[in-house]
Chains A and B, each alone.
Chain A
Amino acid sequence: MSWLPRLPGLTLPPQGRHPAPPSPVPGTVAASLFLAATFFVPLAPAQEYAGTEMCAACHEEIFTKFQKSAHKRIERKTEWTDQACETCHGPGAEHAASGDIALIKNPSKLDAGAGDRSCLACHQNQPSPAGRIRNGHAHSQVSCAECHTVHGTREELVDRRPVSVNKQCATCHMDAWVQFQRPHTHRLAQGAMSCTGCHNPHGTAAPSNLNLVAANEPGCLKCHGDKRGPFTFEHAPVRLEGCQSCHEPHGSANPRMLTRHEVRFQCLECHSNIGASAGVLGGVAPAFHDTRNPRFRNCTVCHVKIHGSHINRALLR
């Protein structure tokens, strides 16, 4: 038995049986076929393989780069020896003979999702916070090859240095990266963190691919464990809407990444129900504080345990 299928999450398709595209099944027939199909994998007709040497003859530059790639392992001691290119591109004998590009599969030029299925044929058991990698980024609207260098110039298929990861994400998520140029932000620019510290591009159980900790707790608590609680006296928005209800985690012009320029506005926008008709949480305003007095302009000067208190109902200590 070869060692390659024992790589983390790798299950190579057997030779001569390249992964077939998903079979379209009408909904009505689907149910009746469900059980049978669970135990049956349709076989595609075997085609001729050309071998890596043949590929290298024309695609020398790619071949040279490939020698430094982690995918080079495919060449070693497996039934795919000397056929590494064809694990992704499919049998290439006909293409090699004719030079016709229509006769070879190029995953990067396939339609949405199809290119990813080529990667997932081997990598779908790779563990991720959502269980395993089920599809490309954003439900295969962004293919694996957008972030991973398949032919590679490094041992890793993606440069995982924080600075490189941030640069990679910023090419699409410009809006987020722009916010990190604001003065009050997490330390991404200094290389202390990367986008993947909070988000997992392969998907998680939380919105925006946010990481979770301790099974079902928000990923923010991985570093901010002192805000975890449970507190004797909770501050409801922290639990109901999360840190983002007051903070802008990607960066802000306001101190402490707050979403408002002064703390009193941050607080009063919720603690300001006028009449019962509002139908929202938050109660009435703290009625006796005169915010014209400078002492009451920053609520957290007194309400120091604003994330929740173990001691005091008014979050004073």
Chain B
Amino acid sequence: MRRARYWVLLTAVAAIGAAQDADQSPVPAEPNFSGTLDIGNRWLSDVRGDFNAWRSVVNLGEGPRLLNLDFHLGPPQGLEGRWLFDSLNFRSNAWGGDPYNTSFLDISRTGAYRLTVDYRNIAYFNFLPSFANPQIDQGIRLNQRSFDTHRRLYDVQLDLMPGRRVTPFFGYTRDSGFGTGVTVFVADINEYPVSNRLWDHTNNYRGGVRMETKRYHLILEQGGTTFKDDQEILDGGRNPGNRTAPFLGQRLFLDDVLQAYGIRGSSIYSKGILTGNPTNWLDMNLQFLYSQPQTDTSYFQENRGRFVALNNLLFFDGERSSVLAAAKQPHSAGSVGFELRPARRVRILQSWSTNRFHNATRALLADQILLATPLSQETVAFDRLVVNHNEQRLVAIFDPMRWLSLRAGHRYIWGDARVRASAVQPEGLEGGQLRRNVALAGITFRAGRKLTLNTDGEIADGDRTYFRTSLQDYKKLVTRARYQASQAWNFNFRHSILANQNPTRSIEYQFRHWEHAASVYWTPGASKRASVLAEYSRTAIISNLTILAPGMLNRELSYYRDFGHTGTVLADVKLGGGPLAPMITAGGTYFVSSGSRPTRFYQPVGRAAFPVHKMLHATAEWRWYGFAEPFYAYEGFRAHQFTVGLRMLR
């Protein structure tokens, strides 16, 4: 693995070096090449505190790294059209062992092809003790679901004859996840933490054609996906589970368990998008999107130990289960819209959209309790989910003056859904409706290029909503302002507020979210020798909702509070004049919140860049991570991170 890291670094250095050599060769015209290469080594101090929390939040490691590589390559002047490509752009980030690696390639030849390749590898580690154990500090320790997995994404797209009237295109995307984790095996009144293996992938194949004329543009795309999910649990050894007290005098435990999921899925989909501007005063668009995903499931489970079936108070030592299931979900969506410009300064935007899907499923569940005479039971289950969602929007934009835009409109959202009912009526369906009228208004004010002020507001009146916490009667206001006081001073300001309520007596939901944010960017003089960026944001979330507490079924109030302060300061100072003057950066980011889950997260940073040559800089960075949660003090961590590297520019 270590050798592979050095190999990646050497390859990257060689790529830049080769381009520089090409520059020195006697070829009369040099290729159009520009790029940046950052390589370095990262060290980490001992992570003080909870290492699992560190990995869940930051998760950066040590060792040599290709921190960044990006370059553009094109044919020399005069040789355009004679190379296999006219433009090649490549970007790569965090290679050599970092948990987040990305690469992107965009290569094209005018009128012939364009190929893009995107690769991402993102580690997902999540093991926060407090997540399942809010009372761990009282010695109450339970199992939880945790993950140590990776998600990898490959995305390839090839366009042929781009820019011509007819452009065929083909694409392939593969998204896969793999790794291990901890999950829970639930057996009636006890639950057992067990290790599991996760492995899933989705392949997406697509092809289509874009057709364009001066006024119309049509995209027709046909695609399909295949899906495979093979999760597995294979765990052995005496496991007492979360319930440590005997049940009716008997101790319950798990000795071994096998769970094997075999989920296969596929989907076909079709997409058609027509846009056009049949006249200079009308733009129109029409979309039709259809997909029909389906899955087939086979599942097998065998567990041994000591268990109890609550419905007949039967104690037993083993159980086998198998499930065969299938699900289909035809899904169609469409929209029609236009932008009409009846006068020079007036625009009217109208759109209708609909989104419908219908999930129909069936499952055959077979259970066998392993007694002297095995007890078998087979159940057939059906499930449905039917959703119709519609939206109509009308907005008028009026620009009475060059420096002023006014917007006003209306949005109506309506729909209905039928979903599986609660556990008390397991085979039933319950229905919900959505009806919401929203008034929209906005204003944009521009005073030259110095000041821009933008405000948008919404007032909604809903009389039907799907869920207790959904938007119903709400008011929303977002204001943004930008002011360039001088060449050196730039100010940004943002204020937003969202107040939502559902006054239904048994819900009494009150939700309020507001935020003030301001930033200032100071670049004195034109010398670019110093700059300061400062940002500050204050946010608040206040939520009150009446709930029915399980157990005693009494009414309680669910409170949630989050008052956050976030700040960033970054100051750049160039020590001296000239292109080889060192540059120092100092600052950092902090997040401090109070309320339901008080949190402190500090990330101070210091950087230095020492140009050795106009194309070679030595760099150094120090960063400190400090994370603390007063209610969950055991979960905090602190760590220093140092990175030293070289940056090559061209």
Contacts and interface: CB of A to CB of B under 8 A. Distances in A.
Mostly, the A contact residues are: loop
Interface in B591-614: 591, 593, 596-597, 599, 601, 603
Given A272-B468, A285-B553, A301 B278 contact: no
Contact of A24 (B344, B395, B405): B344
A215 B327 CA distance: 19
A155 B344 CA distance: 35
A interface bracket (residues with beta carbon within 8 Å of B): 35 or more
A265 B468 CA distance: 13
A236 B420 contact: yes
Q: Which of A10, A135, A260 has the most CB of B within 10 A?
A: A260
A37 B280 contact: yes
Contact of B293 (A5, A154, A229): A229
Contacts of A108: 449
Nearest to B395: A139
B587 to A, nearest CB: 13
Interface string A197-228: 00000000100000011111100001111101
A236 B293 contact: no
B250 interface: no
A38 B214 CA distance: 10
A37 B164 CA distance: 24
Contact of B546 (A33, A192, A254, A274): A274
A262 B558 CA distance: 11
B89 A283 contact: no
Interface residues of B, number: 204
A254 B419 CA distance: 29
Nearest to B224: A214
Contacts of A155: 32, 34, 72, 74, 87, 89
Q: Which of A10, A37, A171, A190 has the most CB of B within 10 A?
A: A190
Interface string B540-563: 000001111111110100101010
Contacts of B327: 229-232, 310
Interface in A128-170: 130-132, 134-135, 139, 141, 154-156, 160-162
Nearest to A22: B280
Contact of A30 (B104, B342, B397, B601): B342
B281 A22 contact: yes
B279 interface: yes
Contacts of B102: 162, 191-192
Q: Which of B210, B359, B519 has the most CB of A within 10 A?
A: B359
Interface string A290-317: 1110111110111010000011011011
B494 A175 contact: yes
Interface string A226-263: 10111111101101110001000000011110011111
A62 to B, nearest CB: 16
Nearest to A6: B111
A42 B177 CA distance: 56
Interface of A: 3, 5-11, 20-27, 30, 33-34, 37-38, 41-42, 68, 76-77, 108-113, 124-125, 127, 130-132, 134-135, 139, 141, 154-156, 160-162, 171-172, 174-175, 178, 181-184, 187, 190-193, 205, 212-217, 222-226, 228-234, 236-237, 239-241, 245, 253-256, 259-263, 265, 268-270, 272-275, 277-292, 294-298, 300-302, 304, 310-311, 313-314, 316-317
Given A214-B267, A240-B466, 16 more contacts: A9-B163, A24-B344, A111-B345, A127-B217, A162-B102, A175-B515, A216-B355, A217-B291, A223-B122, A229-B327, A231-B327, A240-B387, A259-B560, A265-B558, A277-B506, A283-B424
